[in-house]
Structure 1
Amino acid sequence: MHAYIPNSPEAVSRILALSMIVDGHVSPSELRVMHGAPFLEQFKVDDEVFDRTLRELCEDLLDAAANRRAGMVEIDPALLDALMLDIRDPLLQICLWKTMVDIVQADGHLDERETTLVRRAARAWFGQAHASDAFSTAALAS
């Protein structure tokens, strides 16, 4: 997994990208919500950074996949928690969490994997020490 500086545009972009791909596809409504997030400019997340980070995330997930042919990529819960810890600024955590919630609701269908991701972010950022959820994301393997 690519290593990013905590609170960097790449660390933020990776969490946003996870919010979009966790259910196996990116919908136009999710992209609109992400692009409308008011904090992105403040934290220097632009289209170039997001696109590059999304590509790197997908490559990292596919490289780590045990069974790419199955069409599912599982993310280890410990890895997910570690990715969340790259967001350390309390204000950024709040802004990012709200945007994650808006993204997963944008297509009108709340997938269990989306719910798990948002719940784990809340646990990592807002004081709950242990999270036992796991999730997988479909259709990343081509």
Structure 2
Amino acid sequence: MSARAYGGYVGFEIAAHVRQDLIARQLCLKRVKTMRSYLPDSAQAVSRLLALTVIADGGGSPLEIAATYRLKILDYAQIQDHVFDQVLHELCTDLATTFNGLMKVEKEMIDQALAEITLPELRLSVWKSMWELSYADDELADGELALLLLATSTWGIERDAHGGGQISKLAVPPDLES
């Protein structure tokens, strides 16, 4: 199993081949105690959640990396390939690692990343893309499932019987209702 629980965080193993043109694994081993912040609903905020999804199964398989560049969310959120690459790199540098190469992703970090997506329509699009990425390698790892369930509950998304979802009326702030 790639994702392992250790006390207050979940560790994800990182593969050295996260992306061929991405700087080698050594950059992912830096120890930084906090993640950087991005503007709400920005291309960087969306990219970080996609990057978290990619590494959540234990290493960012080539299938998941390739699938990222085919997602409709990239056009919808106006994310260019180099922006996603940069955010993936920044995520690797922001996350601390253990002696055996597991990345420490604390719940507060995921909460921060989820909180940076505020628009209900964007949340739903990101959520659907996260599910799509999680299944890109035909497996749903424990780390991916944990991230997806946290996004589902935090954002108030109600799944339907066909795997789709909608934002719960209770999850939409009154000032965003139409």
TM-score category (smaller protein): 0.7 to 0.9
Letter in 1 for 2:36: H
Could you list the runs of 5+ residues in structure 1 that have no partner in the other structure?
Answer: 129-142
- Which contiguous aligned blocks of 4+ residues in structure 1 show a shift greater than 6 angstroms? none
The offset of 1:52, in angstroms, is 0.5
Letter in 1 for 2:130: M
The offset of 1:39, in angstroms, is 2.7
Instruction: Give the equivalent residue in structure 1 for 2:77.
Output: 43
Bigger proportion of residues as strand? 2
The offset of 1:119, in angstroms, is 0.5
**Aligned partner of 1:114 among 131, 144, 165:** 144
Instruction: Give the equivalent residue in structure 1 for 2:45.
Output: 11
Q: Give the share of equivalent positions with the same residue, in percent.
A: 35
CA distance in structure 2 between the aligned counterparts of 1:110 and 1:98, rounded to whole angstroms: 14
CA distance in structure 2 between the aligned counterparts of 1:71 and 1:27, rounded to whole angstroms: 16
CA distance in structure 1 between the aligned counterparts of 2:91 and 2:59, rounded to whole angstroms: 14
**Looking at both structures, which has the greater relative contact order when contacts are Cα pairs under 8 Å and sequence separation is at least 6?**
1
Question: SS state of the match for residue 73, structure 1?
Answer: strand
Could you list the runs of 5+ residues in structure 2 that have no partner in the other structure?
Answer: 1-34, 159-178
Indicate whether 1:25 and 2:73 are aligned.
no
Instruction: Give the equivalent residue in structure 2 for 1:75.
Output: 105
Structure showing greater Rg: 2
Question: SS state of the match for residue 112, structure 2?
Answer: helix
Q: Is the 8 A contact 1:33 1:99 kept in 2?
A: no
Bigger proportion of residues as helix? 1
What TM-score do you get using the length of structure 2 for normalisation?
0.65
What TM-score do you get using the length of structure 1 for normalisation?
0.81
